[in-house]
Amino acid sequence: MTVPALQNSSVFYRRILSLFPQDISLAFAYGSAVFRQTGTSQGQVGKNMLDFIFAVDDPVTWHTKNLIENRKHYSLLKHLGPKRISNIQNDHGAGIYFNTLVPADNRVIKYGVISTDTLMDDLFNWKTLYVAGRLHKPVRILLQNGSGKLRAALVGNLKSAVIASFLMLPESFSEEDLFLQIAGLSYSGDFRMVIGEDKSKVSNIVKDNMPHFRKLYNNILQECPHVVYKPQQGRLEVRGVMYWLTISCADLNSTLHANITRLVDPPGKNRDVEEILLQVAQDPDCGSVVQHGISSIVKTSSITQSAKGIATAGLFKTVSYSVKKLQKMWRGWRRKPSQS
């Protein structure tokens, strides 16, 4: 399976990309302004801030060019120069640098810049799950280079999401159950889900976008061993559960392995990783252990990246952005009584 780039992106998205330096290995748009979520009218979608992420091979060169072309996008950190900005991007938080509340083509956008190497590390190893988690959900890929390794990393990230979610679900479940679990991985442990995000965010993402999730995961689910996928009925069933769980635990990525090991292995015992994973696979609380392992990844990256965001956005934009998030959370609270 591959994640297809949109070869004929809309004129609007091409205009947006033309505003930035062109040496980008991957560019995608995501969020509620791209894929309408439950409780959001079509009119609101057109007014929502557009979110982009650009992966670049050489952040110093890219920021050097962008500071010349779009200096006003940056906070006071622009005075530090491209090398320091790149160091802040790579060495702190989740390895991504955001410029937010940027006017572009009669819209307001936010864009994050991440090095291609950092992105690959997150996709393969779930180092922070910050960008990898966004790519668990449908996104609009605007530009993707021909790197086979990047394509493999994108697909591998989706497979890891499926495996981790299977470990937290019963033997038989619906497509919607699976997609809710997958969409929720990158929000598990995120402190912003306590204050700053609509509590129904995961459900809102999935319910109106089931066809997009099916398209994204169909090939992986069809090819998954020991799993019977019935797309017509919207059901999945795991066969040979214990054997499959053991194999799946071994297939989890390195950061999650390390977190599970710390949770399960008492200090000083130093057991073999395979032995620990076998124990986890046979534990009735296997899903809970995996959930805790993922939460610890997300919790750390969400806190450190948000702290970095205050500096990269500047105080005024941080306050403005936070107010908008709180307004969305409040609208979500108000929707709940009418939905129930």
Q: What is the CATH number of the domain that holds 97?
A: 3.30.460
Inside any domain, residue 337: no
Strand partners, 27: 54, 143
pLDDT given at position 321: 55
The tally of domains found in the chain comes to 2
Give Cα separations from 192 to 87, 197, 287, 292, 300 (angstroms).
25, 6, 23, 17, 12
Same domain, 127 and 160: no
Task: In whole angstroms, give the CA distance from residue 301 to residue 191.
Answer: 10
Judge contact between 52 and 16, C-beta under 8 A: yes
Among 119, 92, 108, which residue's Cα sits nearest to residue 28?
Answer: 119
Mean pLDDT of all residues in 241-262: 72
Same domain, 280 and 189: yes
Mean pLDDT of all residues in 5-18: 76
Q: Domain boundary residue among 111, 146, 181?
A: 146
Q: Domain boundary residue among 146, 171, 199?
A: 146
Q: N- to C-terminal Cα distance for the chain?
A: 39
Supply the range of the domain harboring residue 94.
Answer: 12-39+46-146
pLDDT given at position 331: 52
Element (H, E) at 111: strand 107-115
pLDDT given at position 199: 60
Instruction: Read off the pLDDT of residues 153-180 as tens digits, 9 standing for 90 and up.
Output: 999 999 999 988 988 898 899 999 999 9
Inside any domain, residue 320: no
Judge contact between 23 and 46, C-beta under 8 A: no
Mean pLDDT of all residues in 175-202: 81
pLDDT given at position 259: 85
Among 317, 299, 338, 331, which residue's Cα sits nearest to residue 37?
Answer: 331
pLDDT given at position 18: 95
Instruction: Read off the pLDDT of residues 307-328 as tens digits, 9 standing for 90 and up.
Output: 888 878 776 666 665 555 545 5
Mean pLDDT of all residues in 36-49: 73
Residue 151 corresponds to which amino acid? R
Same domain, 162 and 140: no
